[in-house]
Amino acid sequence: MLAIIDYGLGNLGSVVNAFRYLDVEVVLTADKEDILAAEGIILPGVGAFGEGMKNLRKRNLDKVVINSVQKGKPLLGICLGLQLLFSSSEEDPDIKGLDLIKGRVKKFDEQNISKIPHIGWNQIELTDNDPLFKGLKKPRNFYFVHSYYVVPQNNQFSLGKTIYSSEKFTSVVRKNNIWGIQCHPEKSSKTGLKFLQNFSEVVK
């Protein structure tokens, strides 16, 4: 079973529906016991970094996620969920992130990019092979909606890159049992569904 963390933000229903379409057992939950009992964790989300962290902390879910990951449980962060894995964000600089991956979240530079947010289909170029991309041939097109992107302190955790206008940003990260992806695989047709299925198989 996978636990999809409900912290009051984002398109949780579409993530749940995607896994159920794949016949993967999931539970949408804010309950500590459910998360501890799950084989893997999904941290989705749409919205602001600060509000996301406040909601996690208000429900004491930040500690549950950190402790679970430290014990080796697989975690996948999606969109805002990816950004919350990092230390801090320009969006809410006074609020600390989960700090599971050292680094920060930056906003696209409005002087270099005419259209923010980045919305639509775009490609992910991998810097290394990974089981979550098994069976996904080039071009790996996913659906993006975001104004901020992650900058890992250690570039070795940058698993995939995407080019948007003049920016080449990290769109996928991996650190041991932690994965994060900036796009929305649950909205990315067959490619996204295959990605989510691969995560469920890694968890087994």
Enumerate the domain spans of the chain. Answer: 2-203
pTM beyond 0.85: yes
For the 2-203 domain, the top CATH level (class) is: alpha beta
Q: Which residues contact 150 (CB under 8 A, 6 or more apart)?
A: 82, 83, 85, 86, 101, 103, 104, 105, 106, 169, 170, 173, 180, 182
Residues with a catalytic annotation lie at: 79, 184, 186
For each of the chain's 204 residues, which pLDDT tens digit applies? 999 999 988 779 999 999 999 999 999 999 999 999 999 999 998 999 999 999 999 999 999 999 999 999 999 999 999 999 999 999 999 999 999 999 999 999 988 888 999 999 999 999 999 999 999 999 999 999 999 999 999 999 999 999 999 899 999 999 999 999 999 999 999 999 999 999 999 998
